[in-house]
Chains A and B, each alone.
Chain A
Amino acid sequence: MARKMFIVLAIATVALLTGPISVAQEWVPSGPVNNIAPFNPGGGTDLLARATQKYIDLGGQSMFVTNMVGANGVIGAMEVYGSKPDGRTMLCHNITSIIGSRINGTLEVDPLEFEALGSLVYDCSVIYVSADSPFKTISDIVDAAKKNPEQLKWGASALYGTNHLASALFFELAGISMNYVPFSGGSQHRAAVMGHHVDLGYGQISEIYPNIVSGEIRAVAVLGENRLPRLPDVPTLKESGYDLIDGAFRGYFVAPKTPKNIIDSYAILFKKITENPEFIKFVEEDLGSQVLFKSPEDIKTLAKEQFADRQRIYNHLKAKEK
């Protein structure tokens, strides 16, 4: 009897001691959370923001999505940068783009100042061609480019933007040169590839996935660590011997100086979303991308690496221009 009593008391004590601690860790926003998507409705960023709104569990508080479009996401980023660090305003964006905006001078603040909450989706970059193109593999492309330097037309987005910097890194690795043709957006270079106005295209999988499914476009290589779950036949660039990872790690950021307990709580909530089968199905089937959780620390490390790499290639490109 006494022994039983002791166990009950012991359990109660443990419960009493740990109870308050776990309550302190679990932070809940004090009101509705504003999820700022700095790109047009219907794009990869906006769709992730809306899926997050659907699947997140904020302990009774609601989340709403605000589209604040402009200057490659800088307008929305600045809004979040200047917001209160109380975890109630967040930015749905990707670190590569934020760094790109910093490097080309649009973003006036240091991207590393934003506190990352983790990323949920990896929208990896793809080298693609029209369905009837003679280029079947990366070595076809590299051989052709070596035979005709500067002649192949490589369609992608704006000069000195993230796609340009990553493309330049690839050209450098492969020792080739191509004619980089800048378009104003994904749907423009996609149409140019389909209409044979350029030989190759470079963009993110969510921009071209529907056209891959409909058979108008063929992906030659993906720039992720692993092959995409929905495109198991498309090799990674790494498999061809070029160690280059590029793509958008889509996730969330909050204002500088946001307390650590808020960041940790969100990281747990986001990780939970990435384990939700409905969310996984949505990302893979509708976007063609893949669910990949990266913790706030991972994003920070990645940011530092990418910043250095891309700043170097940017300076290199700018020097070549002169």
Chain B
Amino acid sequence: MELVYTLGAGLSGLWSDPVIALYIMAGVFVGMVFGAIPGLSAALAVTLGLPFTFAMTAEQGLCTLMGLYVGGISGGLISATLLNIPGTPASLVTCFDAAPMARSGRPGDALALGVFSSVVGGLFSALVLIVIAPPLSKVTLWFGPWEYFAMGIMGLSVVISLCSRDIIKGCMAAVFGILLSSVGLDEVSGASRFTFGYWQLSAGLNNLATLMGLFAFAEVMTQLRNLGVKSTQIPVEKISLFPKYELICGHNKDFLVASIIGTFIGILPGVGSGSASLIAYNQIRQISKEPEKFGTGIASGIIASESANNAVTGGAIIPMLTLGIPGDVVTAILLGGLILHGLQPGPQLFTNNNTLIGVIFVGFIAANIIMYFMQMTLMQGFIKLMSVPFNYLFPSILIMCLVGTFSVNNRIFDSWVFLIIGILGYIFVNLDFSLPPLILGYILGPIVERNFRTAIISSRGNLGALFTRPIAVSLIVFGIFIAAWPYITRKKQKNSGNL
């Protein structure tokens, strides 16, 4: 009943401010442009969009950012299909089957199926978001310092499964991220840390400047190397508004499994859409009747990747709204957007700003539907975008970043943070460290540290108090399970001998 009320409030919120619909459309469009162009990611689209939302109301701003998010994640499939290059990191797995299908003379089918899978995944996660978030926000009052601490530990344990290839480097990156986050005034004791007597540093490294540096600057520098590399693009005939029925029929299970996996991974803090589509792809291959056909241009492969990575979007918004803990990098930036508009995420948001929550729900659904029709009708235009030369794109992106980092807090200092962190990030990427663990450490480190210290003071130094908190203990056990998962699966594969 309450849910109907929230949705009603959202609908009337949208109705009374029709500009929001325009903002969502603009967001989805720009997001898709960023997604379609290889090298420009969904995270970049949302980061660059944030400064533009300052002047908007909270509803307009958040809807714009969500549009960018949804558009960016789904736009990536175009270049994955036609160039065999993921347009955004999330669509890496899409290349596996969409590109072969396109090469075998069915590019239109591959694109249509990809877009359709995207909207299914997105809408599924929207449903979960709407059903789960409000009751979950009531449960969050049970969350005290110990529970937030355990939640953070669970998120950090994902680092291990994220970088199963080189765990040492992954952990080093995470620790470096935690160190970056501890610069400035400590919020528990009020002491200055790592400021080297320089008062400008006492505010710490601005979140947005740091994230933009790591993502935008390091990314652009890395992409610069690919300047002038020619890629072969497959020509496409006109595509219809809906994919052919025989493409989707019989794949209900694939859609469902990919959407569930994507949403669930989205809810876990910090895993992100790239790993979600990989996990969904592997899972669907395992349950498939024809696993050998995966990688040759099979429909199930496209569905797995695209449904999963779009399902992450709705899932990732759940912990952001209810707990104030971002589900992935993009929602970390969305969280910044909420706080910039003076809104504190968490249970109070649901009681005090019911209309905003409603607008977010309805806006998210709208963004997915708009994404579908926009991508289907404007496909030819997006395809042309892929040939825009980077010589023009990259300088303008860097300028937007510099202006953006300044405008967040009106400090030139933050633009310097952006540049220096960006150079550090570039060095990191070149040394083969991956950035996601670093970002995880940066975002979750303070949550773990602060809450642990508050909790331990609250229990007068007694660590045993943790074991009287069932939610906290189960979160930590679950975290250990996530961390151990890669080893368990590896052992299983070894035992069955199909490595």
Contacts and interface: CB of A to CB of B under 8 A. Distances in A.
A150 B457 CA distance: 11
A197 B141 CA distance: 9
Contacts of B184: 70-71
A72 interface: yes
A69 interface: yes
A69 B409 contact: yes
B413 to A, nearest CB: 8
User: Which of A43, A66, A69 is most buried by chain B, counting CB atoms within 10 A of its CB?
Assistant: A69
Contacts of A181: 454, 457-458
A108 interface: yes
Given A78-B199, A210-B352, A153 B458 contact: yes
Contacts of B339: 40
Contacts of A187: 344, 346, 348
B228 interface: no
Given A161-B190, A187-B346, A74 B457 contact: no
A74 B203 contact: yes
Given A70-B409, A74-B202, A75-B202, A106 B190 contact: yes
Interface string B329-373: 000000000011111101110011000000000000000000000
A67 to B, nearest CB: 7
Query: Which one of A66, A71, A78, A150 has the highest number of Cβ atoms from chain B below 10 Å of its Cβ?
Result: A71
A158 B346 CA distance: 20
A78 B348 CA distance: 33
B347 A67 contact: no
A21 B13 CA distance: 55
A159 B144 contact: no
A75 B339 CA distance: 18
Interface in B252-280: none
Given A75-B202, A184-B187, A42 B346 contact: no
Nearest to A186: B344
A47 B152 CA distance: 32
Contacts of B143: 195
Interface string A41-58: 111001000000000000
A252 interface: no
Nearest to B346: A191
Contacts of B346: 187, 191
B454 A182 contact: yes
B185 A72 contact: yes
B188 interface: yes
Pick from A68, A160, A195, A211 the residue with the most CB of B within 10 Å: A195
Contacts of B457: 179-182
Count chain A CB atoms within 10 A of each CB in B192, B340, B410 and give the residue with the most: B410
B141 A194 contact: yes
Contacts of A226: none
A195 B142 contact: yes
Nearest to A180: B457
B191 interface: yes
B460 A179 contact: yes
Interface in A52-95: 66-72, 74-75, 78
Given A67-B409, A159-B190, A183 B347 contact: no
A40 B202 CA distance: 16
Contact of A191 (B191, B348, B450): B348
Contacts of A182: 188-189, 453-454, 457
Interface in B187-208: 187-192, 199-200, 202-204, 206
Contacts of B199: 71, 74-75, 78, 106, 108
A185 interface: yes
B409 A106 contact: no
Given A75-B203, A78-B199, A104-B190, A197 B458 contact: yes
Given A68-B409, A68-B410, A106-B185, A160 B460 contact: no
B443 to A, nearest CB: 15
Contact of B187 (A41, A150, A158): A158
Contacts of A43: 342
Contact of B190 (A75, A153, A158, A179): A158
A72 to B, nearest CB: 6
A180 B188 CA distance: 11
A57 to B, nearest CB: 25
Nearest to B58: A42
A71 B202 contact: yes
B348 A104 contact: no
Contacts of A301: none
Contacts of A214: 351-352
Contacts of A245: none
A210 B144 CA distance: 21
B145 interface: yes
Interface in B202-224: 202-204, 206
Interface centre among A42, A75, A104 (most CB of B within 10 A): A75
Nearest to A69: B409
A183 B409 CA distance: 24
Nearest to B192: A106
Contacts of A42: 341-343
B411 interface: yes
Nearest to A216: B351
A192 interface: yes
Given A46-B342, A160-B190, A214-B351, A197 B203 contact: no
24 contacts: A40-B340, A41-B341, A42-B342, A42-B343, A43-B342, A67-B410, A68-B410, A70-B184, A70-B185, A70-B203, A74-B185, A74-B199, A75-B203, A104-B190, A182-B188, A182-B454, A184-B454, A187-B348, A191-B140, A191-B346, A191-B347, A191-B348, A195-B144, A210-B352
Please list the 3 inter-chain residue pairs (A to B) with the smallest Cβ-Cβ separation, ordered nearest first. A42-B342, A70-B203, A197-B144
Interface of A: 40-43, 46, 66-72, 74-75, 78, 104-106, 108, 150, 153, 158-161, 179-185, 187, 190-192, 194-195, 197-198, 210-211, 214
